[in-house]
């Protein structure tokens, strides 16, 4: 669970630390760094949240499982 | 007014084809919604069940597709790109980190709220607070805040519908009634729509709405950038515009990137909005109606993908800069809120502009209806029944709900008419200032009972006053109106930040200090009707199953507005 908490905290800290990405270079496909970096975090955040979800599921075991629901 | 601008406004008169397509699609959707609600009311429960079951049989992809449609409202289509167009990245693009950090945040607390609510039959956050602290006062504070904070959010949707009608050429003229005609039409349509069909119509037309919205988004973000010289040119034009000097303020027009010191504004806007969103009544309704506590968490992992598209839509505001779009209102004044409809009218063939207009208008109408119904239900449940008429029959309660859903929209109209609608995104931010102040009482109480009920109430009261006064004092330099923005100086930091977050910190400090004092003095903190297990129960728990079954029908205030379990609400 502690690991899940850390995984969830990572995108929050990264995106709130604005000075770390408020710059134009390096560009990617014509997008300044500021923009493509935040777009990139959409996918990183998704992956981290999914991992955290899987971790909480295994921590709880079978009691959270609804009949007929896919794992 | 210069003759030049007047001529432009006249040129932008009625766009017959676009307006025709808009009205036709609008009528089609309204009739479909009306017919469907009639059909289901007349029919037996059997068909209702089947309909609901059909919804549950949808695979992950279709469900995901449906969820996405709900996330696109006037906020994403009109307000965010308009903010990008007018003042740049700090005012507009914060919506992207906002909608990313949103999901880790709800992942943390929403499962607990789901469990305790279904163990005890709570429908609103005010219900939970009442059960947790046995405090009617704190519960009332939470309920009133939810009701009031929804108003500016609905106002934003009205501005969106108005923008479309105005660009399509409805209304016009100099007298005050004709000038605001698009707004009054938008209000009338919304009121009639909600009053006659309740929650069911939004559910029925969700499919049509989603298809329209996706069609427009895909075409817009793929087709338009190429038409204006590619992304290099778009960012170049935006940088140029943002660097020009605004005559009214003598400062640069806006920010291409958040400069030194703007980081606080950008970060607090994102975090404050994210923490606030799931405190709104309509968000809670949607979250609680999911089928298990993990549905929310699973969706939290796949929904951020929508933030990607939101970012592209935000950048349409800068596409409009590159395209040289000049959004001029019917009164001949420039109005940034019109920029996206105007861009569509300029760049698309008339018939497709009509489709795009319909997508924006219906995409604003449906969430506005859902929001007003959720706010009205909070009123009838936690204010009317709790304080005014405890022995109210379900019929009386439903009647009050209906009337209140009208009233909340009427207040929303007042917001649009009295506040500065040049900056529509500010409506959403203003609602955020208020609703965020219920966060400590609701979310912290899910994890601990250390906080004292009177301390939470005191923190709420002070931060509500502080937030409102601070927001009132923000004056738009161009129009001179109060409530001109949602950024204020952060005391002690000498930086600009989102007022909601400053108020939240004040709220928290008061709650902590007073809780320590009250707890030390052993002042009664009420009785807690919940037990630790309540916060972990899942759909396999018998009490939860009973609650889910009781609230399963669509006629309940509680029913999922769109029948898609666990989806995030409209923003």
Mean pLDDT of B176-191: 74
> The domain B3-419+527-550 belongs to what CATH superfamily?
Sodium/glucose cotransporter (1.20.1730.10)
Q: Which of B104, B259, B297 is facing A45, going by the closest CB pair? A: B104
Residues of B in contact with A69 (CB under 8 A): 292
Q: Choosing among B99, B104, B299, B544, which should be mutated to test the A contact, i.e. which has the most A CBs within 10 A?
A: B104
A16 vs B89: CB contact, 8 Å cut-off? no
Domain ranges of chain A: 1-41
Q: What tens digit of pLDDT does each residue of B320-362 get?
A: 888 888 787 777 777 888 888 888 888 888 888 888 888 888 8
B104 vs A23: CB contact, 8 Å cut-off? no
Residues of B in contact with A8 (CB under 8 A): 104, 107-108
The closest alpha carbon to B146, from B157, B138, B158, belongs to B138
Residue B364 makes CB contacts below 8 A (sequence gap 6+) with B73, B74, B77, B78, B157, B158, B160, B161
Q: Identify which has the larger pLDDT, B297 or B314.
A: B314
Write down the pLDDT at residue B49: 33
Q: What tens digit of pLDDT does each residue of B126-144 get?
A: 988 988 888 888 999 999 9
Question: What number of C-beta contacts closer than 8 Å exist between A and B?
Answer: 121
Mean pLDDT of B41-59: 37
Q: Choosing among B63, B101, B447, which should be mutated to test the A contact, i.e. which has the most A CBs within 10 A?
A: B101
Write down the pLDDT at residue B466: 92
Domain ranges of chain B: 3-419+527-550
Q: What distance in Å separates the CA atoms of residue B70 and residue B52, rounded to the nearest whole number?
A: 18
Cis peptide leading into residue A26 (ω within 30°): yes
Residue B133 makes CB contacts below 8 A (sequence gap 6+) with B445, B453, B456, B525, B526, B528
Alpha carbon of B559: minimum distance to chain A alpha carbons (Å): 20
Is B303 a residue whose pLDDT tops 50? yes
Alpha carbon of A46: minimum distance to chain B alpha carbons (Å): 5
A50 vs B232: CB contact, 8 Å cut-off? no
Give yes or no for a contact between B343 and B323, defined as CB atoms under 8 angstroms apart: yes
Give yes or no for a contact between B315 and A35, defined as CB atoms under 8 angstroms apart: yes
């Amino acid at each position: 669970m502690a690991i899940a908490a850390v995984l969830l905290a990572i995108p929050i800290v990264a995106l709130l630390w604005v000075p770390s990405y408020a710059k134009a270079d390096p560009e990617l496909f014509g997008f300044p760094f500021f923009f493509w970096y935040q777009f990139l975090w959409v996918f990183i955040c998704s992956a981290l949240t999914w991992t955290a979800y899987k971790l909480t599921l295994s921590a709880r075991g079978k009691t959270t499982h609804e009949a007929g629901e896919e794992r | 007014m210069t003759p030049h601008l007047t001529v432009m406004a006249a040129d932008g008169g009625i766009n017959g084809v676009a307006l025709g397509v808009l009205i036709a699609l609008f009528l089609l959707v309204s009739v479909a919604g009306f017919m469907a609600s009639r059909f289901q009311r007349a029919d037996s429960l059997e068909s209702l069940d089947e309909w609901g079951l059909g919804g549950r049989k949808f695979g992950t992809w279709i469900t995901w597709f449906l969820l996405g449609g709900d996330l696109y409202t006037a906020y994403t289509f009109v307000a965010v790109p308009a903010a990008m167009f007018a003042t740049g990245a700090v005012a507009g693009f914060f919506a992207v980190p906002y909608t990313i950090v949103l999901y880790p945040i709800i992942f943390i607390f929403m499962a607990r709220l789901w469990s305790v609510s279904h163990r005890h039959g709570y429908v609103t956050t005010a219900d939970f607070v009442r059960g947790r602290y046995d405090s009617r006062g704190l519960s009332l504070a939470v309920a009133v805040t939810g009701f009031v904070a929804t108003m500016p959010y609905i106002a934003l949707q009205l501005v969106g519908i108005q923008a479309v009608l105005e660009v399509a050429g409805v209304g016009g003229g100099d007298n005050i009634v004709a000038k605001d005609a698009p707004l009054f039409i938008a209000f009338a349509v919304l009121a009639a729509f909600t009053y006659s069909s309740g929650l069911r119509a939004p559910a029925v037309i969700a499919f049509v709405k989603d298809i329209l919205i996706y069609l427009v988004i895909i075409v817009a973000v793929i087709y338009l950038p190429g038409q204006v010289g590619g992304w290099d040119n778009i960012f170049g034009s935006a940088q140029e515009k943002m660097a020009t000097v605004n005559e009214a303020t003598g400062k640069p027009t806006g920010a291409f990137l958040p400069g030194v010191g703007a980081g606080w504004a950008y970060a607090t806007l994102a975090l404050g909005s994210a923490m606030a969103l799931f405190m709104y009544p309509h968000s809670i309704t949607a979250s609680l109606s999911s089928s298990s506590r993990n549905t929310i968490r699973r969706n939290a992992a796949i929904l951020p993908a929508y933030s990607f598209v939101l970012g592209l839509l935000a950048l349409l505001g800068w596409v409009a800069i590159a395209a040289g779009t000049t959004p001029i209102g019917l009164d001949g004044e420039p109005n940034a809120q019109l920029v996206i409809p105007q861009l569509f009218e300029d760049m698309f063939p008339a018939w497709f502009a009509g489709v795009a207009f319909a997508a924006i208008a219906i995409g604003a109408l449906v969430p506005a209806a859902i929001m007003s119904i959720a706010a009205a239900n909070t009123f009838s449940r936690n204010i009317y029944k709790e304080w005014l008429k405890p022995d109210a029959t379900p019929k009386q309660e439903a009647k009050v709900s209906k009337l209140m859903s009208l009233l909340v929209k009427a207040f929303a109209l007042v917001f649009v008419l009295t506040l500065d609608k040049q900056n529509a995104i500010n409506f959403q931010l203003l609602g955020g200032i208020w609703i965020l102040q219920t966060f400590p009482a609701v979310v912290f109480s899910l994890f601990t009972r250390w906080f004292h009920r009177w301390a939470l109430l005191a923190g709420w009261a002070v931060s509500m006053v502080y937030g409102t006064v601070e927001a009132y004092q923000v004056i738009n330099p161009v129009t001179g109106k109060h409530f001109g923005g949602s950024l204020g100086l952060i005391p002690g930091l000498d930086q600009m930040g989102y007022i909601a977050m400053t108020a939240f910190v004040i709220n928290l400090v008061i709650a902590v200090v007073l809780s320590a004092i009250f707890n030390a003095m052993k002042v009664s903190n009420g009785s807690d009707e919940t037990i630790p297990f309540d916060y972990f129960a899942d759909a396999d728990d018998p009490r939860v199953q009973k609650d889910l079954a009781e609230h399963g029908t669509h006629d309940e205030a509680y029913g999922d507005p769109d029948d898609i379990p666990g989806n995030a609400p409209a923003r």
